[in-house]
Amino acid sequence: MSADRPATRRHYVMDPLPPALRTLPPKERGRGLALAYILAGLFGAAASASVFLGFVRTGLGFQCSPATRGICPDGLAYFPFGAWVYGAFAIVVVLAALILAPTARRSRLRRIRAQFLAIAALIPNAIFAYAIGFVNPSEGELYASLLVPGVLLGTATLAILIAAVVPVRLVLWTGVLLAMILCIAAAIVEPGCMSTVSVTLGILVAVLILDYRRSLIK
């Protein structure tokens, strides 16, 4: 036991942890950092809410007059739609936080927790897809606005699913990193995806933290 303690301390000395996390016991620092990224993803989604709602308004013509396609209601008309979308994102964040909450002393159980967290990272894309289906844009608007980002997000979803169900560390890291790259590319191609990508990235970073520090996080 005594031989392991210096290595543990050196491991944490090398970590660029925020001051608030350095005050936590070593076994709680990784979990605190993972939770911080999950919450940052939710804040990022909230900060980009106007971009998403602007996209469904102008890019997909949601609630706009079908006769002119140029007359759309003001922003307040989109509040109920935005409230349930971002409320669903908040529920996903709470679910991810609950996955982080219980302690697990065995390394295998900590790996399983990272896999469950990866499964939670699939939900934001599902929420986005359901929201687009609710908007029900025309085929022309759908292909013009979401063909490329849809393919990117769909491939990212597949990569996350593989990472979650295959209990091999190399597969987990490869799938998560590939999904992160694809999600960022989707947000660059279509900024209206930024909210979904933000929540997904926050959870995926937490997955990598959990797996990287699985021998230290209780």
With beta carbons less than 8 A apart as the criterion, state whether 17 and 33 touch.
yes
The DSSP element (H or E) to which 88 belongs, if any, is: helix 79-100
Q: Is residue 58 in a domain?
A: yes
Q: Is residue 1 in a domain?
A: no
pLDDT number for residue 19: 59
CA distance 100 to 98: 5
Q: What percent of the chain has pLDDT over 70?
A: 76
How many other β-carbons are positioned within 10 Å of the β-carbon of residue 12?
15
pLDDT in tens, 189-202: 999 999 999 999 99
pLDDT number for residue 65: 67
Question: pTM of the full predicted structure?
Answer: 0.81
pLDDT number for residue 6: 47
Q: Is residue 106 in a domain?
A: yes
Q: Is residue 218 in a domain?
A: no
Q: Which residues contact 93 (CB under 8 A, 6 or more apart)?
A: 38, 39, 41, 42, 199, 202
pLDDT number for residue 20: 54
CA distance 42 to 159: 22
CA distance 72 to 75: 9
Sign of CA dihedral 13, 110, 100, 156: positive
Biggest distance spanned by C-alpha atoms of the chain: 76
Q: Is residue 194 in a domain?
A: yes
pLDDT in tens, 47-103: 999 999 989 888 887 877 665 555 777 777 888 899 999 999 999 999 999 988 766
Mean pLDDT of all residues in 140-146: 85
CA distance 106 to 218: 8
Whether pLDDT at 11 is above 60 = no
Task: Specify whether the backbone of 62 is left (phi greater than 0), alpha (psi in -120 to 50) or beta.
Answer: beta
- Domain hosting residue 107, numbered range: 24-212
CA distance 2 to 111: 25
Q: Is residue 134 in a domain?
A: yes
Higher per-residue confidence, 76 vs 180: 180
Q: Is residue 103 in a domain?
A: yes
Q: Is residue 13 in a domain?
A: no
Q: How many domains in the chain?
A: 1
